[in-house]
Amino acid sequence: MPYAEVRDTRTWYELRGEGPPLLFISGSGGPLWSMPGTLDPLIERFRVLAYDKRGLGRCEAPATTWEMADFADDAAVLLDVVGWDRCDVVGASFGGMIAQELALRHPQRVAKLVLCCTSPGGDFASYPLHTLLDLPSEERASRRVAITDLRNDPAWQAAHPEEYAALAERYAGGYASEEDEQRHRRLLAARSRLDTIERLPRIASPTLIAGGRHDGIAPLRNQEMLRERIPGSRLELFEGGHGFMREDPRALEVIADWLTA
């Protein structure tokens, strides 16, 4: 699929499937190449637009300070590129933070909104992933496994060494280049400054909040705060941790059913 000139970035995007238009915004570790098959249940029912945001994958962006508003405005311009005036939006983790800002800054673009495993920031922020970057690789991997699913604490890791090793491998490695590391640091720095709590009541789009019961990155209290602050929103919990969209086979079907109801 093509690159698009999106504000000050060169953004790689993909359009797949047929049906109502749906923008999917992935998380801080989710370039398109890293999640083959994940979106298939949505692609079967929607025309899905997904992309590599600034700081990830094949997106080219300037080495400047980024704010969450930049990510939201990028998404709005990408909708212009593909000719969509309005669409449903599903945001996962960091993508859910972008989706909040998109619904607040460009409310006319968002039909229905789904916020998955995400947080509003402030006193209800997701786990500060930027604090893990400078830890030794083994410690970083252990902490990341434990917060991604709270059942996988150090006691579980010690009791299940083979399962733990398979999970830890994803988080123990470094970056492919110094440039990749620096742009990911800029992304996580923007993430750390998110705070939508006081603005959430302004979200007018029908909103579904979806969370994993064992998520330590975007814990249940954060999902409940989103539900409390967004008028008329609905909260659905699924089995699993931060990756419940892959772990609970019900998750994407429930989301798709809600979007088409």
The verdict on residue 160 lying in a domain is: no
For residue 39, which phi and psi values (nearest 5 degrees)? -90, 5
Structural domain contains residue 167: no
pLDDT of residue 172: 78
> Residue 103: inside a domain, yes or no?
yes
Q: What is the CATH number of the domain that holds 124?
A: 3.40.50.1820
Residue 64 placed within a domain: yes
Q: How many CB atoms lie within 10 A of CB 177?
A: 9
Contact of 91 with 119, CB cutoff 8 Å: no
* Within-domain flag for 170: no
- The 10 Å Cβ neighbour count of residue 125 is 18
139 domain residue, yes or no: no
Contact between 6 and 81 under an 8 Å Cβ cutoff? The reply is yes
Cα 105 to Cα 77, 93, 97, 215, 243, distances in angstroms: 12, 19, 12, 28, 27
pLDDT in tens, the chain (261 residues): 689 999 999 999 999 999 999 999 999 986 676 666 888 999 999 999 999 999 888 899 999 999 999 999 999 999 999 999 999 999 999 999 999 999 999 999 999 999 999 999 999 999 999 999 999 999 999 999 999 999 999 999 999 999 999 999 888 777 878 888 999 999 999 999 999 999 999 999 999 999 999 999 999 999 999 999 999 999 999 999 999 999 999 999 999 999 999
Q: Per the domain annotation, does 166 fall within a domain?
A: no
Question: Closest by alpha carbon to 56, among 91, 92, 99, 9?
Answer: 9
Host domain of residue 79: 3-128+178-260
Q: How far apart are CA 237 and CA 211, in angstroms?
A: 5
Query: What pLDDT was estimated at residue 92?
Result: 97
Q: What domain count does the chain have?
A: 1
Tell me whether residue 27 is in a domain.
yes
Q: What does the pLDDT read at residue 154?
A: 94
What pTM was estimated for this model as a whole?
A: 0.96
